[in-house]
């Protein structure tokens, strides 16, 4: 996949390329042109028809960051200014969202310079209003009308909630979500369980929450812990969501298709969500991967084989249920 792009590669949403040196657009009112400050956040519209058009429910380490990047710069979409909302699996907003709101209120101009360097779309007043409402919510998980109002700002564009930890939600919670948002589509990107779990553990190693150089036995113990188990069986996750989502509104994709043909996968997902796949996502290519240069932790052949044997039944089930490239997952490990 392609490396992260620089500031010059990010275009205004819906804009046209003006050459490699075109800067990202700034969305500022005349009142803030000199100071970069914005007025106080405004109450969200009380629109009973508001709500997300789709949910992306995983898989964690399955390409959901790639999907957010493609959609947040696509002119047919308005995506929340933070990738993951976690409304249904946590009880408070992330530190990242509160920090982003603080920076945007202090200086939108400076914040948007930072956004451009990160290949993220520029923020505007809508984003400040969204973040203020989102970080100020008090009834997490339960007030679906307040959650729906967050998406009243999409202004006719397609919008959704990309939170891979929704793959861990119970049948009861999923049923409640889909009763409230029956027209919403659901996207799930499944990944080879061996590759996914090692990427998952590597993330924790980078964060310092797991030790480097863990013994094989420690890794195998982790495979039985809840935070790993509930994210590592994609056939169970897909089945749980499919019990509550009609077939024509459930989009199942494979991470293998992202690595083999990112443009093709982008086209399929954007089309499924109702967007025009022929329109560019700013200046980032379909294979854009902002995580490409992150540190990778090597997986030894011996440990790889042990993890594969642990997931042998699930690897075979993935081939039977998902088809496509998943049919070869078990064979990768001689199973």
pLDDT in tens, 58-90: 999 999 999 999 999 999 999 999 999 999 999
Residue that is written with structure tokens 């812990």 in the block:
225
Count of residues in the chain = 335
Provide the sign of the torsion angle of the four alpha carbons 162, 165, 171, 177, taken in this order. Answer: negative
Q: Is residue 192 part of a domain?
A: yes
Average pLDDT over residues 212-219: 84
Whole-structure pTM value: 0.85
Indicate whether 264 pLDDT > 70. Answer: yes
For residue 35, tell me if it sits in a domain: no
Q: What is the mean pLDDT of residues 98-115?
A: 95
Q: Is residue 27 part of a domain?
A: no
DSSP letter at 121 equals P
The mean pLDDT of 244-262, rounded to a whole number, is 98
Distinct helix (H) and strand (E) counts, the chain = 14, 4
User: 165 near 260, Cβ under 8 Å?
Assistant: no
Domain carrying residue 103: 43-333
State yes or no: pLDDT of 20 exceeds 50: no
Specify the number of domains making up the chain.
1
CATH number at residue 232: 3.40.50.300
Q: Is residue 5 part of a domain?
A: no
Residue 9 falls inside a structural domain: no
Domain-embedded: residue 199: yes
Asked, for residue 272, whether it belongs to a domain, the answer is: yes
- Phi and psi torsions of 86, nearest 5°: 55, 30
Q: What is the pLDDT of residue 31?
A: 35
Can you say how many angstroms the Cα of residue 213 is from the centroid of all Cα atoms in its chain? 29
The reply to whether 34 falls in a domain is no
User: Mean pLDDT in the chain?
Assistant: 87
Which tens digit of pLDDT belongs to each residue from 287-326?
999 877 777 788 899 999 999 999 999 999 999 999 999 9
């Amino acid at each position: 996949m392609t490396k992260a792009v620089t500031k010059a590669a990010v275009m205004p949403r819906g804009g046209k390329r003006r050459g490699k040196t075109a800067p990202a657009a700034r969305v500022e009112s005349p009142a803030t042109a000199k100071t970069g400050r914005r007025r106080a956040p405004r109450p969200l519209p009380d629109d009973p028809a508001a709500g997300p058009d789709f949910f992306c429910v995983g898989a964690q380490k399955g390409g959901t960051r790639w999907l957010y990047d493609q959609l947040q710069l696509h002119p047919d979409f308005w995506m929340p200014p933070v990738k993951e909302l976690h409304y249904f699996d946590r009880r408070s907003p992330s530190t990242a969202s509160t920090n982003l709101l603080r920076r945007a209120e202090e200086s939108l101009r400076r914040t948007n310079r930072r956004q451009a360097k990160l290949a993220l779309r520029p923020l505007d007043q809508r984003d400040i209003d969204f973040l203020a409402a989102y970080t100020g919510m008090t009834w997490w998980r339960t007030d679906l009308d307040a959650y729906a109002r967050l998406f009243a700002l999409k202004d006719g564009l397609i919008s959704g909630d990309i939170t891979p930890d929704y793959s861990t939600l119970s049948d009861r919670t999923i049923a409640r979500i889909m009763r409230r948002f029956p027209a919403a589509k659901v996207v799930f990107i499944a990944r080879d369980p061996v590759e996914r779990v090692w990427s998952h553990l590597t993330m924790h190693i980078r964060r310092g929450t797991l030790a480097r150089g863990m013994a094989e036995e420690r890794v195998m113990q982790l495979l039985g812990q809840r935070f790993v188990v509930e994210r590592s069986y994609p056939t169970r996750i897909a089945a749980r969501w499919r019990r509550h989502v009609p077939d024509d509104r459930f989009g199942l994709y494979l991470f293998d298709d992202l690595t083999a043909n990112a443009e093709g996968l982008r086209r399929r997902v954007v089309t499924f969500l109702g967007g025009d796949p022929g329109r560019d996502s700013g200046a980032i290519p379909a294979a854009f991967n902002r995580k490409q240069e992150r540190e990778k932790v090597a997986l030894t052949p011996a440990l790889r084989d042990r993890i594969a044997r642990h997931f042998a039944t699930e690897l075979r089930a993935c081939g039977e249920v998902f088809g496509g490239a998943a049919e070869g997952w078990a064979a990768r490990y001689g199973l």
